[in-house]
Chain A
């Protein structure tokens, strides 16, 4: 695959992520932050997000497995998760978190468990997508190309 093709592919892929709602404009903010002085900023932030998320998800899972569920704690975790996901623009994770918080407020165990599954699912999807994205970028750079900027209007 030549560089041009890969670049086109990357652009298409990125666009699809936005169109399908996995990412929102906040992700563009991140991309704007990336420059020569900080070439892998997005990847860094995102991997930090992954680390954080996995910890939070673990905590959440644990918290929801307790006999007496501390919904405040659960809510705090979800709040965290919502914050970080909205910061990197992982829109669907964020939305799932918003719903989750609603159920935390209701103290609805079943719905919370369901939401956790949903949040996890959304997270793993977006993680997958982002990893693919970075792999593509990596390949392009490896092939000596530059990362094309995705122009999107909202």
Chain B
């Protein structure tokens, strides 16, 4: 008898074959994208994590459908099912086997019982065993290839029963019955054990967790894991069907209820920009069947402006057709913002860099240009001084005895030199305006006089038969405030330009007020002054007469400014006004010349530009004049324009704003240097004169003179005597000059000197009146000094100072006297030098103001070699003190010095010369020593001391600044013999 026992079946089963719930293609190997822990190995980790059950909106039905439909879902599901089936089958099998076993045993037992009974009836019937042991795990069941085998099959074999007693005896049967009984007992016992075992087994089976539980555990773990991963992830996961309706969505930050989302499309849920785009994108993925990523910026009412990085992946059915998409979105707004900011910053940086490079380039270019300009300025500056040396030497040379040819050569030399000087001055002017170093001065001046003088000067050098005229409208104020030097420069430039390009006809200046309200009161004043006109004596006099008359005349004239002053004052009193108003004066300079072709007008004001090369050849010039005019006009806040008609003429127009001073008493203002020239005329009714004309002299006389061009240039061309009041003007100009009423103490005035020469040299001068004073060139062309002419400006300047305080008031007379004295001495010395006759009677007293010991030593010994001893002081204050003690014939003044610089010291000294007192110095903190004043009184200053600046470099201590502060010239450092010699020659010898 063979019996199979399957005791420990349950224990022996290898149930740990737990298939992963993850799809095969994901796998569990480390290194793959997705890993999950084996259950049980580290349960704690998950336990520690509190997994908040988030509201997950799931369309379970759909999910089921999905799992049924999709490939991946179905494999997984099958897998689960198989596993379950296996588990169940296993259990069933076990139970069945057990049952089989038991039933077999029972059958056996019953059979045996029957046998026993039969044996009792049928002798010798053998108990036959036709049963074979049957494996429970027949191949029929074995659907699992890798299913674990049972470890041990227990086969119990029943031995045959051996009985000692004789067959068919009572004993035998008794024995046999006993034996059988035992067997039965054993069988029953076994049965009982089996039943126990079965019960136990069932209990075990019960105790053992069911596969469902296991599965749900696994599922829970997976779920937990997903929660763990997703709980804080700012992502939205979703599934949308073919129509792009949401079927499943996980959103960590849900804003909408389930019912708002499930079953709807994006477009139905949201509105705003980006929604349509995302929808289209999803559709695209759906159609293409390829996963894709895209960044989409949403601008929705629901959550504002957000950028999502969206990953969309198509979902296929088993048949391979797309049935929807999986969608994953992550809010990357911040990142995008950062990225954009970054991009912007990068862009900005790039732009900045580009700009920087550009700027650097520009800076470089500008620097280069600046350097070039500075270079030009410096060079011009450096060229100017030696050139002026050359020119002045040539001038001196021209006063010596020369034959005709030499003289002609010299004339050429001088005119060339003049031209170069002019060019250099132009360049310097221009570069100064451009570099912003040009400073404008505000001084009172009279426009009428400016016009008149400009025309006068132009007329004087006129070589053509042209009429020069000036119109000043009545409404133009008598006095305005502006930079008269610059304005005069502009006018002179424009007029000389006009003359240059005009062969016949006229050149003129028109002055009128444009569109400004405040000038009524000046007109009042003007009217009154014009009333005074009649006071002025008409003197169409010869020079001699005029000379004598000047004494008388001057007293007349002296009155008139006072009168006009009063009347002006009267006007202001009548009509109180703010002291300053602004008036715009338009100035036209017109000519009847060749005109400017239209195409040339745009380049007209560019420097070095002339209308054509031909013009340049024909007319000469540097082409800088107009550029300078324009720059100057613009600097003063105006505009220079031109209108022109070819062959008919051109008109240059500039409009400048001027301040009008009403209440100031001009004549009493000693500082008003620049208007003194005008004040001469102010003495007359010229103040209101509105028309000037200078008619051409006759051809005959112009060309009858000898061939020297120079001579003719210098010749007075002016015969402005046609109109009586013009004449009047001229004579006034001269006769007012010397203030002879006060200076009658014997000193000769500037004009005296010049006039004497001119008178003797040119009898015809008599008719040209005062203008001769300015143009001492003569017909006879004797020695008389072109030099003088060249220094005319200086003379004029001197004269200006001399007459500036035209003594309308008694207390000023002494001062004026001083000035006149000074002036005349100055001029005297110059005329001496030009005629090279007289040596200075005394050793010139020279003061060196210099703080640098080495420089002092060098200069001193240079001077010594030149035959001069010098006094040395170390700074401006000491210089002022030195001047307080005595007068000097020459002061060499360093500009840059400690304590007080040269400019300031010069100003103080000039102020003293002008006012006769040291108030300005005292104000500046220099107390005059007690002895000083005594000395001063006993030895009054009689002349303007030449002060020569010593500059270290031409730009920062510009020559213009030196001039502006009252210096007469400058020497650039380091000083050399040559420079000192020139300087001494010019100012001392």
Residue numbers of A with Cβ under 8 A of B are 26, 29-30, 32-33, 35, 38, 41, 44-45, 48-49, 52, 76, 79-80, 82-84, 86-89
Cα distance A56–B973 in the bound complex, in angstroms: 20
Q: Which residues of A contact B898 (CB under 8 A)?
A: 76
Instruction: Give the contacting residue for B852; candidates A29, A35, A41, A83; CB below 8 A.
Output: A83
With A82-B952, A83-B973 as contacts: A29 and B855 at CB distance below 8 Å = no
| Per-position 1/0 for B933-977, Cβ under 8 A of A | 000000000000000000010000000000000000000011111
With beta carbons under 8 angstroms apart, the residue of B854, B862, B896, B976 that contacts A84 is B854
**By the criterion CB–CB under 8 Å, are A88 and B851 in contact?**
no
Which of A32, A41, A76, A84 is in CB contact (< 8 Å) with B855?
A84
Decide: A79 and B854 in contact? CB cutoff 8 A.
no
Give Cα distance in the complex from A13 to B389, angstroms.
35
Cα–Cα, bound, A38→B855 (Å) = 17
Closest to A90 in B: B854
User: Are A38 and B861 interface neighbours, CB within 8 A?
Assistant: yes
Choice from B851, B862, B865, B974 contacting A80 with Cβ under 8 Å: B851
B976 touches A26 (CB 8 A): yes
In the complex the two chains form, what is the Cα distance from A124 to B898 in whole Å?
A: 26
Selected contact of A45 from candidates B854, B865, B896, B952, CB within 8 Å: B854
Q: Which residue of B lies closest to A51 (CB)?
A: B853
Size of interface on B: residues with Cβ below 8 Å to A: 18
A88 touches which one: B854, B861, B865, B976 (CB < 8 A)? B854
Q: Is the CB of A87 within 8 A of B852?
A: yes
From A29, A33, A41, A87, contact of B854 by CB (8 A): A87
Instruction: Report the bound CA distance from A32 to B973 in whole Å.
Output: 17
Min CB gap B952→A, angstroms: 6
Contact across chains for B973 and A87 when beta carbons are under 8 A apart: yes
- Assess the A52–B862 pair: CB atoms within 8 A: no
The answer to whether B861 and A86 have CB atoms under 8 Å apart is no
CA distance A98 to B102 in the complex (A): 124
Known: A29-B862, A76-B898, A87-B858. 20 other contacts (CB 8 A): A26-B974, A29-B977, A30-B858, A32-B977, A33-B858, A35-B865, A41-B861, A45-B857, A48-B853, A48-B854, A52-B852, A79-B896, A80-B851, A82-B952, A84-B852, A84-B853, A84-B855, A87-B852, A87-B974, A88-B858
CA–CA, A79 and B975, complex, Å: 16
CB-based contact A29/B858 at 8 Å? yes
Q: With a CB–CB cut-off of 8 A, which chain A residues contact B977? A: 29, 32
Contacts of A83 in B (CB 8 A): 852, 854-855, 952, 973-974
**Which residues of chain B in 320-349 are interfacial with respect to chain A, using CB atoms and an 8 Å cutoff?**
none
Cα of A92 to Cα of B858 in the assembled complex, Å: 19
Bound CA–CA A76/B896 (angstroms): 9
Majority DSSP secondary structure for residues of A touching B:
helix
How far does the alpha carbon of A52 sit from the alpha carbon of B855 in the complex, in Å?
11
- Residues of chain A with a CB closer than 8 A to B852's CB: 52, 80, 83-84, 87
* B844-862 near A? 1/0 per residue, CB < 8 Å: 0000000111110110011
Residues from 824 to 877 in B contacting A, C-beta threshold 8 Å? 851-855, 857-858, 861-862, 865
In the complex, which residues of chain A have a beta carbon less than 8 angstroms from the beta carbon of B854? 45, 48-49, 52, 83-84, 87-88
CA distance A83 to B951 in the complex (A): 10
**Interface pairs A-B: 7 shortest CB-CB:** A84-B854, A83-B852, A33-B861, A86-B974, A87-B855, A87-B854, A87-B974
For the complex formed, measure the closest distance between the CB of A130 and the CB atoms of chain B, giving whole angstroms. 13
CB closest residue in chain B, given A37: B864
Q: Smallest distance from the beta carbon of B386 to chain A beta carbons, Å?
A: 14
Could you give 13 example pairs across A and B, Cβ below 8 Å? A26-B974, A29-B974, A29-B976, A29-B977, A30-B858, A33-B861, A35-B865, A45-B858, A48-B857, A52-B853, A84-B852, A84-B854, A86-B973
Q: Which residue of B lies closest to A76 (CB)?
A: B898
Instruction: Determine if A79 and B861 form an interchain contact, defined as CB atoms under 8 angstroms apart.
Output: no
CA distance A30 to B857 in the complex (A): 10
CB distance from A50 to the nearest CB of B (A): 10
